[in-house]
Amino acid sequence: QVQLVESGGGLVQAGGSLRLSCAASGSFSSYAMGWFRQGPGNEREFVGAISRSGTRTYYADSVKGRFTISRDNAKNTVYLQMNSLKSEDTAVYYCAAEYTVISGRNPGAYDYWGQGTQVTVSS
């Protein structure tokens, strides 16, 4: 069993930065982690993922070069650093855990989800 709690969301101006954190309980280092987001009226969208060791990451094209995922297995935490934010990044952001080496883009494959944190980017 893994419990995930996101934090760090808020209101930021376009061009600004935010760092989201996702604190986990349980066997965190056994899980690959993903970040997803869901804007108003939209389906949940893949943002990026990181392998359970932290050595591999990959991102959606919409955030590549602007967002960075990292993890600290000693602190049971995964991070999403978001730079050069745009209004279209406004969404509720979720972290998720999958019991595998590296997780994918399919939200249905993930085993556990956090409650989400709101990010609002004003233009």
Q: Assign 99 a pLDDT band (cuts: 50, 70, 90).
A: very high
Inform me whether the pLDDT recorded for 116 exceeds 90.
yes
Question: With helix as H, strand as E and coil as C, how does 18-51 read?
Answer: EEEEEEECCCHHHCEEEEEEECCCCCCEEEEEEC
The better pLDDT of the pair 26, 9 is held by 9
Mean of all residue pLDDT scores within the chain: 96
pLDDT-derived band at 10, boundaries 50, 70, 90? very high
Give exposure, 4-29, as e/b (b: 16+ Cβ within 10 Å): bebebbeebeeeeebebbbbbeeebe
Reported as a pLDDT band with limits 50, 70 and 90, residue 37 is very high
Residue 26: its pLDDT value, please?
87
**Nearest Cα to 71, choosing from 95, 106, 43?**
95
Q: How far apart are CA 105 and CA 52, in angstroms?
A: 15
- Residue 2 in contact with residue 28, Cβ under 8 Å? yes
Buried residues in 43-74 as b, exposed as e (16+ CB within 10 A): ebbbbbbbbbebeebbbbeebeeebbbebeee
Residue 28 sits at φ, ψ, to 5 deg, of -55, -45
pLDDT at 61: 97
For residue 87, what are its two tokens? 């209004």
Q: Write the pLDDT tens digit of every residue in 50-69.
A: 999 999 999 999 999 999 99
